[in-house]
Amino acid sequence: MTESTQSPGINTLSEIFSEPLTWKKCLAALDEAATLGGLRGLNPADEDLVLVGCGSSYYLALAAAATWSLLTGNAARALPASEILLFPKLLPLVCRTILISRSGYTSEIIDVGNYLKQRNRMAELAITCGIGTPVERLAANVIRLPQADEESTVMTRSFTSMLLALQLLAAQRAGDSGFANGVRRLPALVEPRMREFDVTIRSLVGSQVFADYVFLGQGPFYGIAQEAMLKVTEMSASYAQCFHTLEFRHGPKAIVSPESLVTFFLSENGFESELSVLQEIKQLGAITLVITNRSNAAVRESADYLLELSLDVPESARAAAALIPGQLLGFHTGMRKGFDPDNPRHLSRVVVLQSGRDGNSGHGAV
C-alpha cells in the first residue's frame, strides 16, 4: 500500500497496539546484550542525575526521573534541552546527564551533548531508538531500542519502551529485584487489556468532542499526564492542559464546565487526596475519565469513564501502561475531527534546526 492510499492513522493505531510486544522485544534485547550491566555506577549518591529531552522525550524524562528518585533515594530531575542551552546555570555543577532522543538527531539534544563535551562533562548515557546517530557519539554509554521506533510522526511505543528501559536501570541501581520483575511481567499483563482500553476510549470519544482536555497526575504519573496531554494536542489539534492533581484546585479549576474532559491518573500513594479532587471536579460539572490501578465505590460514583489497570506490579512500573489510554484518546479524537494522526499538522517526525532556534518547528516527535 502506497503512502497516498494508506488509511489515515493506520500506523499510529498499529504502533499503539504493538506496545506490549515491543516492550517484550526491547527488554529481551537489553538482557541479551547485557546493556544495563555496565551502568551500575550511573548515579552516585553525591551527584544529581539530570535527564534531558525535548517534547515527548522531556515528559519521558519527568516520569523516569520520578521513578529514579523514588527507587534509589538519589536526586534526579528532568530538564528540557532548551533550558540548559538558554540558561546553563540551571544545570547542577556536579551531576550525571542522560540524553533522550527517539531519533538520535534532535538538534537541541545534540547541542546539549556538545555543550557538555566542550566542558569536559560528557553525558553519561544516551538512550535512542536510532542506530549510528549523532547523539551516540556524545555519551559514554548508549541504550539503543530500534525495535521501538515508529513510522508515524508521534511517539507512542518509543516513549513507553524507553521509559521502561530507564525504569529497569533505576531498579538495577537500587537493587530492587521486585520492581525489575514487575517491569518484565508488564507486557504479558497489559496485552490482554488493550482491547478494553480501546473500547472505553472509543465510547468516550463518540459521546462528544470537548472544548478543553485536562490531564492530572502526581509523582511518576505527572510526566504521563503531560505526555497524554501532548498526544491529544498533536493528534487532534485540540486545546489540552496538564497540572499536578492537587494544584488544579489552585486556580485552574475555573475552566471546568460540561465541555471539559478531565482525565485523572489516580495513584495509590496519593489516592485519598486525589480522590477528593476528582469528587470536587465532578461536582463542578466536568466529564471525568479515571485511569487507576483499582477503584472503589467513591471513584466509580465520580468517574464518567473508568479504566482499571489491575496490574500486580509496583506503582511506578504501571506508568507506561497508564499512558496507553491517553494515546488512544489522542488518536480517536483526531480521527473524529478528520485529522490523520500519522501526520499531525505543522509537525515533523524529527526536529532538526538549521540554527539554534526555529520557532516554526514542532517539538512533539523527537
Residue tagged 521501538 (cell numbers)? 148
Q: Do β-strands 212-217 and 260-265 pair in parallel, antiparallel, or remain unpaired?
A: parallel
Residue ranges and CATH numbers for the domains of the chain are 10-189 (3.40.50.10490), 192-336 (3.40.50.10490)
Q: pLDDT tens, 292-335?
A: 999 999 999 999 999 999 999 999 999 999 999 999 999 999 99
Q: What percent of the chain is predicted at pLDDT more than 90? A: 85
Tell me the C-alpha distance between 68 and 71, whole Å: 5
Q: pLDDT tens, 300-309?
A: 999 999 999 9
Poorest-pLDDT segment among 1-10, 133-142, 187-196, 286-295: 1-10
Residue tagged 516513549 (cell numbers)? 159
Chain-centroid distance of CA 19 in Å reads 13
More confident: 39 or 18: 18
Contact 270, 168 (CB under 8 A): no
pLDDT computed for residue 44 by the predictor: 80
pLDDT computed for residue 355 by the predictor: 52
Geometric angle at alpha carbon 339, from 335 and 342, rounded to 5°: 90
Chain-centroid distance of CA 210 in Å reads 23
Poorest-pLDDT segment among 17-31, 243-257, 286-300, 349-363: 349-363
Poorest-pLDDT segment among 41-45, 138-142, 234-238: 41-45
Minimal CA–CA distance to 288: which of 210, 349, 221? Answer: 210
Confidence of residue 9 (pLDDT cuts 50, 70, 90): confident
pLDDT computed for residue 304 by the predictor: 98
Q: pLDDT tens, 112-163?
A: 999 999 998 999 999 999 999 999 999 999 999 999 999 999 999 999 999 9
Instruction: Check pLDDT > 70 for residue 360.
Output: no
Minimal CA–CA distance to 135: which of 157, 149, 116, 154? Answer: 116
> Chain-wide mean pLDDT for the chain?
92
Instruction: Check pLDDT > 80 for residue 350.
Output: no
* Residue range 249-255: mean pLDDT, rounded: 95
Confidence of residue 366 (pLDDT cuts 50, 70, 90): low
Instruction: Check pLDDT > 70 for residue 260.
Output: yes
Instruction: Check pLDDT > 90 for residue 43.
Output: no
Instruction: Check pLDDT > 60 for residue 364.
Output: no
Instruction: Check pLDDT > 90 for residue 77.
Output: yes
* Residue range 170-184: mean pLDDT, rounded: 95
Instruction: Check pLDDT > 80 for residue 349.
Output: no
DSSP 251: T
